[in-house]
Structure 1
Amino acid sequence: MVTPSSPFAFVESLFARIGERLQPPAWAVHEVQHRAVLFLNHVLQQEPEAQDRLARQKGRVVLFRWRTMHMRLVATPAGLLDLAPDAALPDLTLTIAETSPFALAGAQLRGDKPKVEIEGDVQLAAEVNWLVDHVRWDVEDDLARLIGDAPAHAVGSAARKVAGALRQFVDRAARPRASGGSAE
Protein backbone atom coordinates (compact mmCIF):
# COMPACT_ATOMS: atom_id res chain seq x y z
CA MET A 1 0.00 0.00 0.00
CA VAL A 2 1.30 3.43 -0.88
CA THR A 3 1.33 5.68 2.18
CA PRO A 4 1.62 9.49 2.19
CA SER A 5 5.28 9.15 3.27
CA SER A 6 5.99 6.64 0.52
CA PRO A 7 8.27 7.76 -2.33
CA PHE A 8 5.61 6.50 -4.71
CA ALA A 9 2.86 8.74 -3.26
CA PHE A 10 3.74 11.67 -5.53
CA VAL A 11 3.93 9.47 -8.64
CA GLU A 12 0.65 7.78 -7.79
CA SER A 13 -1.04 11.13 -7.18
CA LEU A 14 0.27 12.39 -10.51
CA PHE A 15 -1.00 9.31 -12.37
CA ALA A 16 -4.41 9.65 -10.69
CA ARG A 17 -4.76 13.29 -11.75
CA ILE A 18 -3.65 12.54 -15.31
CA GLY A 19 -5.92 9.47 -15.50
CA GLU A 20 -8.95 11.52 -14.44
CA ARG A 21 -8.37 14.09 -17.18
CA LEU A 22 -7.08 11.99 -20.06
CA GLN A 23 -9.15 9.13 -21.34
CA PRO A 24 -8.10 6.99 -24.32
CA PRO A 25 -10.36 7.00 -27.38
CA ALA A 26 -13.04 4.30 -27.52
CA TRP A 27 -11.38 2.55 -30.48
CA ALA A 28 -8.11 2.19 -28.52
CA VAL A 29 -9.93 0.77 -25.50
CA HIS A 30 -11.73 -1.72 -27.75
CA GLU A 31 -8.46 -2.80 -29.38
CA VAL A 32 -6.74 -3.35 -26.04
CA GLN A 33 -9.74 -5.34 -24.80
CA HIS A 34 -9.77 -7.40 -27.98
CA ARG A 35 -6.05 -8.20 -27.57
CA ALA A 36 -6.65 -9.14 -23.92
CA VAL A 37 -9.40 -11.58 -25.00
CA LEU A 38 -7.07 -13.13 -27.59
CA PHE A 39 -4.41 -13.60 -24.92
CA LEU A 40 -6.89 -15.07 -22.40
CA ASN A 41 -8.17 -17.51 -25.04
CA HIS A 42 -4.59 -18.55 -25.86
CA VAL A 43 -4.05 -19.40 -22.21
CA LEU A 44 -7.44 -21.12 -21.88
CA GLN A 45 -6.74 -23.33 -24.91
CA GLN A 46 -3.87 -24.89 -22.96
CA GLU A 47 -6.28 -25.98 -20.17
CA PRO A 48 -9.04 -28.39 -21.31
CA GLU A 49 -10.67 -28.40 -17.85
CA ALA A 50 -10.96 -24.61 -17.94
CA GLN A 51 -12.58 -24.76 -21.38
CA ASP A 52 -15.07 -27.39 -20.15
CA ARG A 53 -16.01 -25.20 -17.19
CA LEU A 54 -16.44 -22.13 -19.39
CA ALA A 55 -18.49 -24.06 -21.97
CA ARG A 56 -21.00 -24.87 -19.19
CA GLN A 57 -21.34 -21.10 -18.62
CA LYS A 58 -21.95 -20.25 -22.30
CA GLY A 59 -23.79 -17.00 -22.84
CA ARG A 60 -23.12 -15.78 -19.29
CA VAL A 61 -21.66 -12.28 -19.05
CA VAL A 62 -19.08 -11.12 -16.50
CA LEU A 63 -18.37 -7.43 -16.04
CA PHE A 64 -14.88 -6.64 -14.71
CA ARG A 65 -14.37 -3.14 -13.29
CA TRP A 66 -11.36 -1.27 -11.96
CA ARG A 67 -11.41 2.47 -11.41
CA THR A 68 -12.89 3.97 -14.61
CA MET A 69 -12.08 0.91 -16.74
CA HIS A 70 -14.46 -1.94 -17.43
CA MET A 71 -14.66 -4.99 -19.67
CA ARG A 72 -17.60 -7.29 -20.35
CA LEU A 73 -16.75 -10.88 -21.26
CA VAL A 74 -19.11 -13.60 -22.40
CA ALA A 75 -18.41 -17.33 -22.31
CA THR A 76 -18.69 -19.00 -25.71
CA PRO A 77 -19.98 -22.52 -26.47
CA ALA A 78 -16.37 -23.50 -27.27
CA GLY A 79 -15.32 -22.72 -23.71
CA LEU A 80 -13.49 -19.54 -24.64
CA LEU A 81 -14.20 -15.85 -24.08
CA ASP A 82 -15.45 -13.05 -26.27
CA LEU A 83 -16.20 -9.38 -25.72
CA ALA A 84 -19.83 -8.89 -24.78
CA PRO A 85 -21.74 -5.90 -26.14
CA ASP A 86 -21.74 -2.86 -23.84
CA ALA A 87 -25.52 -3.18 -23.53
CA ALA A 88 -25.32 -6.80 -22.29
CA LEU A 89 -26.55 -7.15 -18.72
CA PRO A 90 -23.92 -8.86 -16.57
CA ASP A 91 -24.71 -12.04 -14.69
CA LEU A 92 -21.73 -11.26 -12.47
CA THR A 93 -19.93 -8.01 -11.69
CA LEU A 94 -16.42 -8.12 -10.25
CA THR A 95 -15.01 -4.81 -9.05
CA ILE A 96 -11.39 -4.58 -7.93
CA ALA A 97 -11.55 -2.60 -4.70
CA GLU A 98 -7.92 -1.43 -4.65
CA THR A 99 -7.57 1.72 -6.73
CA SER A 100 -3.80 2.10 -6.51
CA PRO A 101 -1.91 0.47 -9.39
CA PHE A 102 1.22 0.35 -7.18
CA ALA A 103 -0.64 -1.50 -4.42
CA LEU A 104 -2.06 -3.93 -6.98
CA ALA A 105 1.39 -4.57 -8.46
CA GLY A 106 2.84 -5.09 -4.97
CA ALA A 107 0.08 -7.53 -4.06
CA GLN A 108 0.66 -9.41 -7.32
CA LEU A 109 4.39 -9.66 -6.63
CA ARG A 110 3.64 -11.01 -3.14
CA GLY A 111 1.27 -13.56 -4.68
CA ASP A 112 -1.82 -12.00 -3.06
CA LYS A 113 -5.16 -11.68 -4.80
CA PRO A 114 -6.68 -8.22 -4.87
CA LYS A 115 -9.84 -7.56 -2.86
CA VAL A 116 -12.80 -7.92 -5.18
CA GLU A 117 -16.40 -6.83 -4.66
CA ILE A 118 -18.73 -9.48 -6.07
CA GLU A 119 -22.29 -8.88 -7.24
CA GLY A 120 -24.42 -11.46 -9.00
CA ASP A 121 -24.44 -15.19 -9.62
CA VAL A 122 -22.54 -17.10 -6.92
CA GLN A 123 -21.95 -20.21 -9.07
CA LEU A 124 -20.47 -18.13 -11.88
CA ALA A 125 -18.28 -16.34 -9.32
CA ALA A 126 -17.05 -19.74 -8.10
CA GLU A 127 -16.15 -20.76 -11.68
CA VAL A 128 -14.25 -17.50 -12.24
CA ASN A 129 -12.43 -18.04 -8.95
CA TRP A 130 -11.48 -21.57 -10.06
CA LEU A 131 -10.09 -20.17 -13.31
CA VAL A 132 -8.04 -17.56 -11.43
CA ASP A 133 -6.66 -20.21 -9.07
CA HIS A 134 -5.88 -22.92 -11.63
CA VAL A 135 -5.14 -21.42 -15.03
CA ARG A 136 -1.58 -20.20 -15.62
CA TRP A 137 0.25 -19.02 -18.69
CA ASP A 138 3.22 -21.24 -19.49
CA VAL A 139 5.48 -18.48 -20.80
CA GLU A 140 8.47 -20.78 -21.09
CA ASP A 141 6.54 -23.22 -23.31
CA ASP A 142 5.43 -20.45 -25.66
CA LEU A 143 8.95 -19.02 -25.76
CA ALA A 144 10.39 -22.48 -26.51
CA ARG A 145 8.28 -22.63 -29.68
CA LEU A 146 10.02 -19.48 -30.89
CA ILE A 147 13.63 -19.87 -29.75
CA GLY A 148 14.02 -23.49 -28.65
CA ASP A 149 13.94 -25.32 -25.32
CA ALA A 150 17.37 -24.48 -23.88
CA PRO A 151 17.28 -20.72 -24.52
CA ALA A 152 13.67 -20.55 -23.30
CA HIS A 153 14.64 -22.35 -20.10
CA ALA A 154 17.54 -19.92 -19.57
CA VAL A 155 15.25 -16.91 -20.08
CA GLY A 156 12.63 -18.45 -17.77
CA SER A 157 15.22 -19.12 -15.09
CA ALA A 158 16.49 -15.53 -15.28
CA ALA A 159 12.92 -14.19 -15.14
CA ARG A 160 12.18 -16.30 -12.04
CA LYS A 161 15.30 -14.88 -10.34
CA VAL A 162 14.26 -11.31 -11.17
CA ALA A 163 10.72 -11.99 -9.94
CA GLY A 164 12.11 -13.45 -6.71
CA ALA A 165 14.29 -10.39 -6.17
CA LEU A 166 11.32 -8.09 -6.81
CA ARG A 167 9.22 -10.12 -4.37
CA GLN A 168 11.90 -9.75 -1.69
CA PHE A 169 12.12 -6.00 -2.35
CA VAL A 170 8.35 -5.59 -2.04
CA ASP A 171 8.27 -7.69 1.14
CA ARG A 172 10.99 -5.57 2.74
CA ALA A 173 9.32 -2.32 1.65
CA ALA A 174 5.96 -3.48 3.01
CA ARG A 175 7.32 -4.35 6.46
CA PRO A 176 6.79 -1.51 8.93
CA ARG A 177 10.01 -0.11 10.30
CA ALA A 178 10.54 -0.49 14.03
CA SER A 179 9.86 2.82 15.70
CA GLY A 180 12.98 4.51 17.01
CA GLY A 181 15.30 2.15 15.10
CA SER A 182 17.90 3.29 12.66
CA ALA A 183 17.34 2.85 8.96
CA GLU A 184 19.85 0.63 7.18
Structure 2
Amino acid sequence: MATPSSPFSFLGDLFNTIGERLQPPDWAVHEIQNRAVLFLNHVLQQEPEAQQRLLRQQGRVVRFQWRFVTMELVATPAGLLDLAPAGSVPELTLTVTDDSPFDIARAALRGDKPAVQIIGDVQLAAEVNWLVDHVRWDVEDDLARVIGDVPAHTLGNAVRRVVGALRQFVGSRTAGKAGGSAVGPAGNAE
Protein backbone atom coordinates (compact mmCIF):
# COMPACT_ATOMS: atom_id res chain seq x y z
CA MET A 1 0.00 0.00 0.00
CA ALA A 2 1.41 3.35 -0.97
CA THR A 3 1.80 5.92 1.74
CA PRO A 4 0.24 9.28 0.99
CA SER A 5 2.72 12.10 0.69
CA SER A 6 2.47 14.94 3.17
CA PRO A 7 1.28 18.39 2.16
CA PHE A 8 4.78 19.64 3.02
CA SER A 9 6.34 17.43 0.34
CA PHE A 10 3.86 18.85 -2.17
CA LEU A 11 4.74 22.38 -1.11
CA GLY A 12 8.45 21.53 -1.30
CA ASP A 13 8.03 20.21 -4.84
CA LEU A 14 6.04 23.30 -5.78
CA PHE A 15 8.75 25.55 -4.32
CA ASN A 16 11.41 23.65 -6.32
CA THR A 17 9.47 23.96 -9.57
CA ILE A 18 8.75 27.65 -9.13
CA GLY A 19 12.32 28.40 -8.00
CA GLU A 20 13.82 26.69 -11.04
CA ARG A 21 11.54 28.39 -13.54
CA LEU A 22 11.09 31.88 -12.15
CA GLN A 23 14.32 33.76 -11.61
CA PRO A 24 14.04 37.36 -10.42
CA PRO A 25 15.78 40.04 -12.47
CA ASP A 26 19.36 40.90 -11.49
CA TRP A 27 18.39 44.35 -10.18
CA ALA A 28 15.85 42.78 -7.78
CA VAL A 29 18.40 40.24 -6.52
CA HIS A 30 20.93 43.02 -5.97
CA GLU A 31 18.39 45.16 -4.10
CA ILE A 32 17.36 42.25 -1.85
CA GLN A 33 21.02 41.53 -1.11
CA ASN A 34 21.60 45.20 -0.23
CA ARG A 35 18.65 45.10 2.18
CA ALA A 36 20.02 41.90 3.74
CA VAL A 37 23.42 43.56 4.25
CA LEU A 38 21.76 46.58 5.89
CA PHE A 39 19.87 44.28 8.25
CA LEU A 40 23.00 42.23 9.10
CA ASN A 41 24.96 45.42 9.80
CA HIS A 42 22.15 46.70 12.04
CA VAL A 43 22.37 43.49 14.07
CA LEU A 44 26.19 43.54 14.11
CA GLN A 45 26.25 47.13 15.41
CA GLN A 46 24.48 45.90 18.55
CA GLU A 47 27.40 43.52 19.30
CA PRO A 48 30.84 45.19 19.65
CA GLU A 49 32.67 41.86 20.00
CA ALA A 50 31.28 40.76 16.61
CA GLN A 51 32.51 43.97 15.01
CA GLN A 52 35.99 43.42 16.47
CA ARG A 53 36.07 39.89 15.07
CA LEU A 54 34.97 41.12 11.64
CA LEU A 55 37.55 43.90 11.77
CA ARG A 56 40.27 41.23 11.99
CA GLN A 57 38.83 39.61 8.84
CA GLN A 58 38.54 42.80 6.76
CA GLY A 59 38.83 42.32 3.02
CA ARG A 60 38.08 38.58 3.21
CA VAL A 61 35.20 37.29 1.09
CA VAL A 62 32.69 34.64 2.13
CA ARG A 63 30.21 33.10 -0.34
CA PHE A 64 26.89 31.80 0.99
CA GLN A 65 24.92 29.42 -1.24
CA TRP A 66 21.58 27.71 -1.00
CA ARG A 67 20.11 26.09 -4.07
CA PHE A 68 19.98 28.86 -6.72
CA VAL A 69 20.65 31.70 -4.23
CA THR A 70 24.21 33.00 -3.87
CA MET A 71 25.52 35.94 -1.86
CA GLU A 72 29.12 37.05 -1.43
CA LEU A 73 30.00 39.26 1.53
CA VAL A 74 33.22 41.03 2.46
CA ALA A 75 34.26 42.28 5.90
CA THR A 76 34.82 46.06 5.90
CA PRO A 77 37.37 48.17 7.81
CA ALA A 78 34.47 49.29 10.06
CA GLY A 79 33.90 45.73 11.25
CA LEU A 80 30.70 45.42 9.25
CA LEU A 81 29.69 43.65 6.04
CA ASP A 82 29.28 44.73 2.43
CA LEU A 83 28.51 42.97 -0.83
CA ALA A 84 31.74 41.72 -2.36
CA PRO A 85 32.72 43.35 -5.65
CA ALA A 86 31.90 41.38 -8.79
CA GLY A 87 34.66 38.94 -9.66
CA SER A 88 35.90 38.56 -6.07
CA VAL A 89 37.36 35.18 -5.20
CA PRO A 90 35.83 33.86 -1.97
CA GLU A 91 38.17 32.48 0.67
CA LEU A 92 35.30 30.53 2.19
CA THR A 93 32.21 28.98 0.62
CA LEU A 94 29.33 27.89 2.84
CA THR A 95 26.68 25.83 1.07
CA VAL A 96 23.46 24.87 2.84
CA THR A 97 22.91 21.24 1.83
CA ASP A 98 19.24 20.97 2.86
CA ASP A 99 17.20 21.59 -0.28
CA SER A 100 13.82 21.96 1.38
CA PRO A 101 12.95 25.30 2.99
CA PHE A 102 10.59 23.35 5.25
CA ASP A 103 13.43 21.12 6.51
CA ILE A 104 15.47 24.24 7.25
CA ALA A 105 12.54 25.86 9.08
CA ARG A 106 11.93 22.64 11.03
CA ALA A 107 15.60 22.52 12.06
CA ALA A 108 15.47 26.19 13.09
CA LEU A 109 12.39 25.56 15.22
CA ARG A 110 14.24 22.71 16.94
CA GLY A 111 17.10 25.14 17.57
CA ASP A 112 19.44 23.33 15.16
CA LYS A 113 21.59 24.82 12.43
CA PRO A 114 21.03 23.62 8.87
CA ALA A 115 23.57 21.20 7.42
CA VAL A 116 26.34 23.18 5.74
CA GLN A 117 29.19 22.15 3.46
CA ILE A 118 32.33 24.20 4.20
CA ILE A 119 35.00 24.77 1.57
CA GLY A 120 37.93 27.06 2.22
CA ASP A 121 39.69 28.77 5.12
CA VAL A 122 38.99 26.93 8.39
CA GLN A 123 39.87 29.90 10.61
CA LEU A 124 37.46 32.15 8.71
CA ALA A 125 34.81 29.42 9.00
CA ALA A 126 35.36 29.38 12.79
CA GLU A 127 34.81 33.16 12.92
CA VAL A 128 31.60 32.87 10.89
CA ASN A 129 30.46 30.05 13.19
CA TRP A 130 31.14 32.27 16.24
CA LEU A 131 29.03 35.02 14.69
CA VAL A 132 26.18 32.60 14.00
CA ASP A 133 26.33 31.24 17.56
CA HIS A 134 26.66 34.54 19.44
CA VAL A 135 25.04 37.36 17.49
CA ARG A 136 21.29 37.72 17.92
CA TRP A 137 18.85 40.35 16.76
CA ASP A 138 17.25 42.07 19.73
CA VAL A 139 13.82 42.39 18.15
CA GLU A 140 12.23 43.53 21.39
CA ASP A 141 14.65 46.46 21.70
CA ASP A 142 13.99 47.62 18.13
CA LEU A 143 10.25 47.20 18.60
CA ALA A 144 10.39 49.21 21.85
CA ARG A 145 11.72 52.18 19.90
CA VAL A 146 8.54 52.15 17.83
CA ILE A 147 5.74 51.12 20.22
CA GLY A 148 7.28 51.57 23.68
CA ASP A 149 8.88 49.28 26.25
CA VAL A 150 5.83 47.65 27.86
CA PRO A 151 3.96 46.72 24.64
CA ALA A 152 7.23 45.47 23.10
CA HIS A 153 7.95 43.31 26.15
CA THR A 154 4.39 41.94 26.15
CA LEU A 155 4.56 41.13 22.45
CA GLY A 156 8.02 39.59 22.90
CA ASN A 157 6.71 37.30 25.65
CA ALA A 158 3.80 36.22 23.47
CA VAL A 159 6.10 35.44 20.54
CA ARG A 160 8.46 33.47 22.81
CA ARG A 161 5.52 31.36 24.05
CA VAL A 162 4.39 30.65 20.47
CA VAL A 163 7.93 29.72 19.39
CA GLY A 164 8.28 27.49 22.47
CA ALA A 165 5.03 25.72 21.62
CA LEU A 166 6.14 25.26 18.00
CA ARG A 167 9.49 23.85 19.15
CA GLN A 168 7.72 21.46 21.50
CA PHE A 169 5.35 20.38 18.70
CA VAL A 170 8.18 19.86 16.20
CA GLY A 171 10.23 18.03 18.82
CA SER A 172 7.36 15.70 19.68
CA ARG A 173 6.69 14.98 15.99
CA THR A 174 10.38 14.26 15.37
CA ALA A 175 10.66 12.04 18.46
CA GLY A 176 7.50 10.17 17.48
CA LYS A 177 8.81 9.38 14.00
CA ALA A 178 12.21 8.35 15.33
CA GLY A 179 10.62 5.84 17.69
CA GLY A 180 8.49 4.11 15.03
CA SER A 181 5.00 5.05 14.04
CA ALA A 182 3.59 8.20 15.52
CA VAL A 183 0.05 8.51 16.73
CA GLY A 184 -1.83 11.41 15.20
CA PRO A 185 -4.26 13.77 16.94
CA ALA A 186 -7.24 11.47 16.35
CA GLY A 187 -5.36 8.50 17.83
CA ASN A 188 -4.74 6.93 14.43
CA ALA A 189 -1.27 5.63 13.60
CA GLU A 190 0.36 7.66 10.85
TM tier, smaller: over 0.9
- Tell me, what secondary structure is at the counterpart of 1:131? helix
Q: 1:144 to 1:9 in 2, by over 3 A?
A: same
Aligned twin of 1:155: 155
Q: 1:180 to 1:30 in 2, by over 3 A?
A: closer
- 5+ residue gaps, structure 1, are none
- Tell me, what secondary structure is at the counterpart of 2:78? coil
- Length, aligned pairs only: 182
Aligned twin of 2:167: 167
Q: After superposition, where does 1:118-129 map in structure 2 within 5 Å?
A: 118-129=118-129
The letter of the residue matching 1:114 is: P
| Aligned-pair CA distance for 1:11 | 1.2
Aligned twin of 2:76: 76
| Aligned-pair CA distance for 1:86 | 2.9
Q: 1:137 to 1:115 in 2, by over 3 A?
A: same
Q: RMSD over aligned Cα, in angstroms? A: 1.7
1:149-173 CA-partner distances (Å, limit 9, x unpaired): 1000001011111111211222233
Distance in 1 (CA, whole Å) between partners of 2:38 and 2:181 is: 49
Aligned twin of 1:52: 52
Of stretches 33-42 and 167-176 in structure 1, the one that deviates more from structure 2 is 167-176
The letter of the residue matching 1:183 is: N
| Aligned-pair CA distance for 1:31 | 0.7
1:110-145 CA-partner distances (Å, limit 9, x unpaired): 000111100111110010000001000000011111
| Aligned-pair CA distance for 1:18 | 1.1
Residues 73 and 81 in structure 2, CA contact (< 8 A), matched pair in contact too = yes
Of stretches 161-170 and 80-89 in structure 1, the one that deviates more from structure 2 is 161-170
2:112 paired with 1:107: no
Aligned twin of 2:41: 41
TM-score, scaled to structure 2:
0.91
2:85 paired with 1:85: yes
| Aligned-pair CA distance for 1:180 | 9.1
| Aligned-pair CA distance for 1:71 | 0.1
TM-score, scaled to structure 1:
0.94
Aligned twin of 1:183: 188
Q: 1:153 to 1:124 in 2, by over 3 A?
A: same
Distance in 2 (CA, whole Å) between partners of 1:171 and 1:80 is: 36
| Aligned-pair CA distance for 1:4 | 7.1
Distance in 2 (CA, whole Å) between partners of 1:161 and 1:58 is: 39
Residues 173 and 182 in structure 2, CA contact (< 8 A), matched pair in contact too = no
Identity of aligned residues (%): 70
- 5+ residue gaps, structure 2, are none
1:72-96 CA-partner distances (Å, limit 9, x unpaired): 0000011000000231000100000
